[in-house]
């Protein structure tokens, strides 16, 4: 099998460096590429953006160089929503479609989220961030570091929490969804991903909370590789 591009989109507050503990477990037949969002990481000099239409356009343009050969798309949490929007944009433009769409740590895009965490005061917002257990204690306990990360994460929360779902024709390629067993989301909400593809939509759970992907990096990447191999065989 030829090497397959795995286009990755980070979670709220994440950058292209955030996926490193996961992607270093990628098998040799995958070429992970992370789409950096404005205002963080390698693009920290750019202005933050909480307009999802602008972000969709941004990631679409940045993905074009990676879809000229077999590829898959992956996103975690907010990145899962953006991965879905990227795939839909690619389909709408009649471009080569992904072999597979991978989603972790989020319910389907049609689920209406009642909570608006981006509106919380600073202390309550920081408490929410801590509850997700996705940042090292040395950052969480460093006031200067949190002053840097808080507006980035808040902007990303707003991006996801103000998204308005619009239905479209289901994808013709498969979707694989994984969530943590201890995540604060209803399984029925996760199952709404089945609305988004006429192909197989595989839903599974792994032990852990929202950032289970780092605890089970080997298992996650092995699942991705196996699904891509099956999709690649259909592709050829």
Residues 6+ apart with CB under 8 A from 182: 207, 208, 209, 212
Number of H helices, E strands in the chain: 9, 6
Asked whether 73 and 83 are in contact (CB, 8 A), the reply is: yes
Give the integer Cα–Cα distance in Å for 37 and 75: 13
Tell me the per-residue pLDDT of 80-131, one tens digit each, with 9 for 90 and over.
999 999 999 999 999 999 999 999 999 999 998 888 989 989 889 888 888 8
| Helix or strand holding residue 215 (H, E) | helix 212-215
Say how many domains are in the chain.
1
Looking at the domain assignment, is residue 206 inside a domain? Answer: yes
Q: C-alpha angle 179/185/188, rounded to 5°? A: 85
Tell me the per-residue pLDDT of 29-71, one tens digit each, with 9 for 90 and over.
899 999 999 999 899 999 999 999 999 999 999 999 999 999 9
Asked whether 74 and 18 are in contact (CB, 8 A), the reply is: no
Looking at the domain assignment, is residue 85 inside a domain? Answer: yes
Looking at the domain assignment, is residue 160 inside a domain? Answer: no
Q: How many CB atoms lie within 10 A of CB 22?
A: 22
Looking at the domain assignment, is residue 193 inside a domain? Answer: yes
- Rounded to an integer, the average pLDDT of 144-153 is 88
Looking at the domain assignment, is residue 196 inside a domain? Answer: yes
Residue 232 reports pLDDT greater than 80: no
Residue 235 reports pLDDT greater than 60: no
CATH number of the domain to which 173 belongs: 3.40.50.1820
| Helix or strand holding residue 161 (H, E) | helix 143-161
Looking at the domain assignment, is residue 157 inside a domain? Answer: no
pLDDT for the residue 132: 79
Looking at the domain assignment, is residue 139 inside a domain? Answer: no
Give the integer Cα–Cα distance in Å for 53 and 85: 9
Residue 1 reports pLDDT greater than 70: no
Looking at the domain assignment, is residue 221 inside a domain? Answer: yes
pLDDT for the residue 141: 80
The model's pTM? 0.93
* Domain extent for 89: 4-108+169-235
Q: Answer with the residue of higher pLDDT: 232 or 145.
A: 145
Residue 236 reports pLDDT greater than 60: no
DSSP state of 94: T
pLDDT for the residue 234: 62
| Residue 56 buriedness (CB in 10 A; 0-12 / 13-18 / 19+) | middle
């Amino acid at each position: 099998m030829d090497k397959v591009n795995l286009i990755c989109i980070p979670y709220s507050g994440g950058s292209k460096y955030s996926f490193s503990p996961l992607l270093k477990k990628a098998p040799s037949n995958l070429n992970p590429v992370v789409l950096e969002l404005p205002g963080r990481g390698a693009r920290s000099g750019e202005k933050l953006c909480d307009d999802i239409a602008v972000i969709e356009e941004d990631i679409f343009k940045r993905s074009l160089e990676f879809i000229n050969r077999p590829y898959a798309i992956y996103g975690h949490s907010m990145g899962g929503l953006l991965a879905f929007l990227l795939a839909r944009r690619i389909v709408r433009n009649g471009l080569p479609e992904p072999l597979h769409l991978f989603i972790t740590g989020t319910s389907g895009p049609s689920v209406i989220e009642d909570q608006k965490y981006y509106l919380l005061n600073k202390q309550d917002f920081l408490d929410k961030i801590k509850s997700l257990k996705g940042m090292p204690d040395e950052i969480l306990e460093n006031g200067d570091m949190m002053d840097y990360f808080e507006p980035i994460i808040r902007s990303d929360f707003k991006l996801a929490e103000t998204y308005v779902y619009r239905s479209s024709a289901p994808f013709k390629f498969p979707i694989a969804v994984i969530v943590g067993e201890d995540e604060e989301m209803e399984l029925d909400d996760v199952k709404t991903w089945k609305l988004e593809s006429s192909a197989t939509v595989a839903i599974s759970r792994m032990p852990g909370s929202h950032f289970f992907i780092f605890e089970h990096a080997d298992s996650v990447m092995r699942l991705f590789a196996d699904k891509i191999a099956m999709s690649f065989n259909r592709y050829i």
